[in-house]
Amino acid sequence: MGITIDTDGSVEVRIPRWVTYAEAEMFVMERRDWIVKSRRKMLEKKARHDSRDWDRVKAETDPWICGDGGRLLRKKVADWAEKLGVGYNRITIRDTSTRWGSCSGKKNLSFSWKIFVMPEHLADYLIVHELTHLRYMNHSAEFWNMVRTYIPDCKTIKKEFEEYV
């Protein structure tokens, strides 16, 4: 069973066929506080993002992203990759609405163009996070230990990152 809060605040509950309605209802009721809190947080985040004029920012930064900005990001990722001792294949910059970074099983990294307008320490956190997925394709204790090795205050920065995005 699982619960997802969508960016519009809608709640999706995934229930296997073998689970009874009573069990599913109990599952949701036990997580009611988390659902309410997460939904409120998601709607607040959406309101913050809607208040930013992303189209204008993107239009103003697009030429820079394609030129110097892209080169700077690639250098920064290469520098971090060397420190972490990991290799990657390709970096792409995308226009995404919810995902700020990703790492594929083929060792390709993808970042939202919004990485260029976030504070540098948050961008570093995002880069280290995605590069760590090259070693651990999950969010296990080992994954977070590796992130913490390079971003010692990652817990605080992760919280700040979540509030920013």
Q: What pLDDT is stored for residue 48 in this prediction?
A: 62
Confidence of residue 144 (pLDDT cuts 50, 70, 90): very high
What is the arithmetic mean of pLDDT over 136-150? 95
Confidence of residue 145 (pLDDT cuts 50, 70, 90): very high
Task: State how far the Cα of 160 lies from the Cα of 49, in Å rounded to an integer.
Answer: 15
Planar angle of CA 127, 95, 45, nearest 5 degrees: 75
Could you give the domains of the chain? 2-51 (no CATH), 54-164 (3.30.2010.10)
Q: What pLDDT is stored for residue 100 in this prediction?
A: 87
Task: State how far the Cα of 157 lies from the Cα of 163, in Å rounded to an integer.
Answer: 10
Q: What pLDDT is stored for residue 131 in this prediction?
A: 97
Give the torsion through C-alpha atoms of 148, 153, 156, 157, to 10 deg: -80
Q: What pLDDT is stored for residue 64 in this prediction?
A: 60
For residues 73-95, one letter each, b for 16 or more C-beta atoms within 10 angstroms of the residue's C-beta and e for the rest, the string is beeebeebbeebebebeebebee
Backbone angles phi, psi at 82, to 5 degrees: -65, -45
Q: What pLDDT is stored for residue 65 in this prediction?
A: 62
Task: State how far the Cα of 120 lies from the Cα of 115, in Å rounded to an integer.
Answer: 9
Q: What pLDDT is stored for residue 104 in this prediction?
A: 92
> Taking the model in full, what pTM does it have?
0.66
Beta strand 108-112 pairing with 11-14: unpaired
Task: State how far the Cα of 43 lies from the Cα of 138, in Å rounded to an integer.
Answer: 27
Half-sphere exposure at residue 44, Cβ-oriented, CA atoms within 13 angstroms: 9
What is the arithmetic mean of pLDDT over 132-152? 95
- Give the pLDDT confidence of 34-75 residue by residue, as tens digits: 887 887 777 777 666 655 555 666 666 666 666 767 788 889
- Give the pLDDT confidence of 77-134 residue by residue, as tens digits: 999 999 999 999 999 888 877 788 999 999 999 998 888 878 889 999 999 999 999 9
Q: What pLDDT is stored for residue 125 in this prediction?
A: 95
Residues sharing a CB contact under 8 Å with residue 102, sequence separation 6 or more, in sequence order: 109, 110, 130
Q: What pLDDT is stored for residue 57 in this prediction?
A: 62
